[in-house]
């Protein structure tokens, strides 16, 4: 693993939604136009059903669906593509 530094502590946080962030952190990371990227996403008619299924599996309430998706796709991820 490259850039491994055992002397540096990394603090990783997780937010289920923007409402869980402190206002200052939300302003700095999400609301600042200089630091955010907004992309328009357009779905082709042929892709809508598959996209809806993927969104439900990844963003829905069933954790086992997310786990299954990650397990199914894990073999395609190479270490250089992961942000670890």
Task: Name the burial class of residue 26, with classes exposed (0-12), middle (13-18) and buried (19+) by CB atoms within 10 angstroms of its CB.
Answer: middle
pLDDT above 60 (res 84): no
Answer whether residue 8 is part of any domain: no
Helix axes 48-59, 63-73, angle to 10 degrees: 110
Is residue 5, in this structure, part of any structural domain at all?
no
pLDDT: is 50 or 78 the higher one? 50
Residue 58 · residue 66 · CB < 8 Å: yes
Is there a domain that residue 71 lies in? Answer: yes
For the chain, give the mean pLDDT.
80
The total number of structural domains in the chain stands at 1
Question: Between these two residues, 7 and 24, which has the higher pLDDT value?
Answer: 24
Render pLDDT for 18-51 as a digit per residue (tens, 0 to 9). 888 889 988 888 888 888 888 898 888 888 888 8
User: Is 4 a member of any domain?
Assistant: no
Q: What are the structure tokens assigned to 60, written together? A: 């829905």
Domain residue limits at 72: 23-81
Q: For the residues 67-77, what does the mean pLDDT come to? A: 79
């Amino acid at each position: 693993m490259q850039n491994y530094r055992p002397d540096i502590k990394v603090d990783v946080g997780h937010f289920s939604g923007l409402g869980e962030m402190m206002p200052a952190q939300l302003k700095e990371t999400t609301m600042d136009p200089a630091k955010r990227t907004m992309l328009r996403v357009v779905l082709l008619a042929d892709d809508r059903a598959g996209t809806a299924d993927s969104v439900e599996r990844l963003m829905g309430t069933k954790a086992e669906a997310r786990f299954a998706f990650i397990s199914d796709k894990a073999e395609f991820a190479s270490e250089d593509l992961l942000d670890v």
